[in-house]
A and B are shown apart, each in its own frame.
Chain A
Amino acid sequence: MSEEFFYFLQQLLNGLTVGSTYALIAIGYTMVYGIIGMINFAHGEVYMIGTYVTFIAITGLTMLGIEYMPLVILCALIIAIVASCSFGWAIERTAYRPLRGTNRLIPLISAIGMSIFLQNYLVQAQGARDIGLPPMITGGWSFGPDSFQASVSYMQLIIFIATAVSMLALTTFISKSKMGRACRAVAQDLQMANLLGINTNRVISTTFVIGAALAALAGVLLGLYYGIANPYIGFIAGLKAFTAAVLGGIGSIPGAMLGGLILGVTESFTAGYFSAEYKDVVAFSLLVLILLFRPTGLLGKPEVEKI
């Protein structure tokens, strides 16, 4: 076991960490796309709001004198999810629902407008500067030879576990629960589902809320991992997550997970072996390449057009 191997392992671990959070955000894109066929451009902003609310909640709870760390983080998680879900719900209600059934471009423009609005809402409310949160979960394990040690921090481990648990919960929800079945039905055919007595409006709202909850989870995890937030983190994270969703095949939930992981690992290897500046370039080039050979993404189903 040489030094190179451990370096490789380290990049892989870092990539999987970031990739799993991309996957969490990507699910929001892919579910909304699967159901109403629109790109929810403001989804990255929901993640950003999740991070901010986490920071506010953690600081507030600490100021109130609650010192027990797991409790603080759990409360912050719940508060962040509630806030993000409210945003997700409100965005759908105000900016997208009145536009349903129009030209495909119209909701997209509205979504871009919403994204710009939310970014600047945060600039007004919290200022445009970076906000740093002191690290809360420190430490980890290291292994390997003395010359280069690969390490897994506890935070990374928490990210893996939280992602895996939430993915499992989501998959169970979609495949087992009544609402999940309704979601799948609406994704297949919205009008027909409506005719069969499914409250499609409620299903669509639920989709937005689930997506927002996962984005908030990503916000909490990445907020604790990086310890930094500014109003502009949502844009690039959203872009990456959307790339991940397309990479895996938009509309497919396992595809979003796979796409996120692949994207994260690719970025991490580019940064580790080549140059950190070009990781975005490589990520987007990968997207173009995959779409060239598999135009529907890795796990997407080809769309059959009927006349």
Chain B
Amino acid sequence: MKKNINHSLFTALITFIVSFPLLGLSLVSVNGSLTIQGADNSTMIMIGVAISIVFIFQLYREKILHMLGMLPTPSLPFKQAYKNSSLEKRTTLKKVFMVGLILCVIIWPFMSSRGAIDLATLVLIYVMLGLGLNIVVGLAGLLDLGYVAFYAVGAYSYALLSEYLGLSFWVALPIGGMLAALFGFLLGFPVLRLRGDYLAIVTLGFGEIIRILLNNFTSVTGGPNGISSIPKPTLFGMEFGRRVKEEGNTLFHEVMGIAYSSSYKVIFLYILAVILVIFTLFVIHRLMRMPVGRAWEALREDEIACRSLGLNRTAIKLSAFTIGAAFAGFAGCFFAARQGFISPESFTFIESAIILAIVVLGGMGSQVGVILAAIAMTVLPELARGFDEYRMLMFGLMMVLMMIWRPQGLAPAQRPHMEIKNDA
């Protein structure tokens, strides 16, 4: 008990030091000189309450945990045996479900508000980014902290190609993807020989380099002001605006013979995003079952074993890095087209962190997980708009708590496997 009291006092003291000087005393600059203002009473009471909660919790830690049933009790893992007969049934069921889901996703925008569709388009961009990064981090096990750089390359390549060469979205999309892939290749070539953590910092540095370059090549990229009035994508030469912006294009509502509505554009962008996501899902799904996909996962699990089996480590890692970058490029192109305006502000480290959080939150290597996590990470902050100022605070806290409570992610990847039935 005495030890408990000492520990509780210590943690309470730490809580006090961590909270009081920063929350209780705020620096205010008055006429150029600094003064300290004490916080209002409610903040002080909050600090006091927090300290007492920590103290009491630590004092009766065992009892509280016991009451909540959170103390680990030794038990044997018991898993349901895998039934082989249901395998085929499950795949057909899965196909029906997938088709139904895709239909729902395509019909849905015609029945909901503009804001909701716009948000859904944003979710889809994050899904695409998450799926791309999932190849690098989830499947190949390479920690990339500068993924946003490839996203920026894609976005800027569309913006610049359309501004200087007048290329349309459909031409720029593959070019943007390829350019991003090229950057991935060029960066990956030297650094993929390095150990994991070195790779993390080099990619992080690369992300910063790209952002700084975009910020400073003012003559080409517009610097911090970014590039505005990027043309929206067209559908077979049909524009979705009120008037034709580019020579030779027609207007969607005129061709179709319907009244103009601004929501057509939003719906079109949404459907375009859905198609891009389905394309991404399909490609990655196939890749995962190809030798190269198997090699990614094998390399993540045991590098030495892979090398002894004759797999070319660098080539495999490089392919994962390049393909992942290409998808970020596609997403970037689409982002630029949707937004109509891009600036280096959109490609900061926090964006990389969000994408990484999506991958890890979803369960590394799991595609369903990535989709769920992308929805959670984009929609929840939107819903919490009322608490806007606490948004990032909550975001950081959520990341930590998720890792503690559910480190395997929301929907961890499941490999086809057999388990021996345990009757004992």
Contacts and interface: CB of A to CB of B under 8 A. Distances in A.
Nearest to B25: A56
Main secondary structure of the interface of B (DSSP, over half): helix
B349 A235 contact: yes
B143 A292 contact: no
Contacts of A285: 209
A243 B205 CA distance: 8
Contacts of A307: 304
A203 B398 CA distance: 28
A255 interface: no
A98 to B, nearest CB: 5
Contacts of A144: none
Interface residues of A, number: 72
Nearest to B26: A126
A122 B143 contact: no
A121 B404 CA distance: 20
A239 B208 CA distance: 10
Contacts of A132: 29, 34
A288 B360 contact: no
Contacts of A102: 407
Interface in B337-377: 349-350, 353, 356-357, 360, 364
A103 B364 CA distance: 11
Given A113-B403, A285-B209, A131 B18 contact: no
Interface in A83-136: 83, 86-87, 89-90, 94-95, 98-99, 102-110, 112-127, 131-134
A83 B18 CA distance: 7
A4 B137 CA distance: 49
A295 B193 contact: yes
Contacts, number: 177
Given A277-B216, A287-B202, A59 B36 contact: yes
B61 to A, nearest CB: 13
Interface string B400-423: 100110010000000000000000
Q: How large is the interface on B (under 10, 10 to 19, 20 to 34, 35 or more residues)?
A: 35 or more
B21 A131 contact: no
A56 B21 contact: yes
Given A53-B21, A59-B36, A291-B198, A110 B404 contact: yes
Interface stretch (B91-99, B108-116, B279-287, B387-395): B387-395
Given A56-B27, A291-B191, 16 more contacts: A83-B17, A110-B400, A113-B399, A113-B403, A115-B396, A116-B350, A116-B392, A120-B393, A133-B34, A278-B212, A278-B216, A280-B209, A281-B209, A281-B213, A284-B208, A288-B191
Interface of A: 33, 39, 49, 52-53, 55-57, 59-60, 63, 79, 82-83, 86-87, 89-90, 94-95, 98-99, 102-110, 112-127, 131-134, 235, 239, 242-243, 246, 250, 277-278, 280-281, 283-285, 287-288, 291-292, 295, 303, 305, 307
